[in-house]
Structure 1
Amino acid sequence: MNLKDAMQISAAGMKAQGQRLRVISENLANADSTAQTPGGEPYRRKILTFKNVLNRSIGADMVQVNKIMPDSKDFELKYDPSHPAANAEGYVLRPNVNSLLELSDMRQAQRSYEANLSVIETSKAMLSRTIGLLRSA
């Protein structure tokens, strides 16, 4: 594998982690949202899955987002009879978003993004040094 191929693989990883960060950000932004009408559902957490896709031109698997789908985990119930979306018993459905889990996922995605960026930066530096050696020869 050459440096250009390594950069393409890392760029695909950065793209996938960037999409993951956008989904996590949306989840965090809606962590406290509720339905506005009784019986309505609040925001449902989104999750994404990855898949490997063979890039035939370089002969390597590259990561790609497979699906973005709603999390099937149950909503939380909170007792708040004054809320407009409260049911007959006074409970309001709350989003199935756990902010602590989202922040942990965000940190993991950030680290993966940074690792891929580091590979690209190292590859660029190696290419620059190689060109410099060729020029001086």
Structure 2
Amino acid sequence: MSMFKVFDISGSAVSAQSQRLNVVASNLANVDTVAGPDGQPYKARQVVFQTVLMDAAGNVSAGRQSDDGLTASAGVRVSNIQEDQTAGRKIHDPSHPQADAQGYVTYSNVNPVEEMVNMISSSRSYQNNIEVMNTAKSLLLKTLQMGQG
């Protein structure tokens, strides 16, 4: 595998984790939301990742071999963002304007503890992939310096 493919692979992971962080931020911002624009409680969203093959140029390939005869390397992308269909929290508050006939208000189904775990996991993955790119850059620079000496 070419050293340059490391940047493509880690770059795809950084992009995917960045999207995951945005989804987590949206979920956390709506923890106590009662109703969205459609009148329904906010539903937590989860990111679904997909492995993709990349050719020698870093483009998504159809699983074919690259120009140098080697199989393509794998990267990652966000294939879908799904809504969590679990029921939202119900709290008895008959005085609330959004209360149902029994006096219950349905809040979003976002679990803040799970979202914080997702945020930490995504942040660490993002940082690790940045570190991989920095290490590859350092190795390439040292190789160039050896060639100059």
TM-score tier (shorter) = over 0.9
Q: Provide TM-score, normalisation by structure 2.
A: 0.86
Where is the helix percentage greater, Structure 1 or Structure 2? Answer: 1
| Number of the residue aligned with 1:43 | 42
Aligned to 1:55: 54
Aligned residue pairs, count: 134
Give 1:65's aligned residue: 78
Alignment of 1:6-85 (within 5 A): 6-35=6-35, 40-57=39-56, 59-85=72-98
| Alpha-carbon distance between aligned partners in 2 of 1:25 and 1:47, rounded to the nearest angstrom | 11
Tell me the TM-score normalized by structure 1: 0.93
SS at match of 1:11: helix
Which of 109, 119, 133 aligns to 1:120? It is 133
Q: Which stretches of structure 1, 4 residues or more, deviate above 3 A after TM superposition?
A: none
1:110 corresponds in structure 2 to 123
Distance 1:41 1:93 in 2: 9
The letter of the residue matching 1:93 is T
Post-superposition CA distance 1:56-78 (Å, at most 9, x none): 23611111101012111111111
Percent of paired sites with the same residue: 37
Shift of 1:8: 0.9
CA shift, 1:118, in A, is 0.7
CA distance in 2, matches of 1:50, 1:96: 22
C-alpha distance in 1 between matches for 2:43 and 2:146: 55
RMSD: 1.5
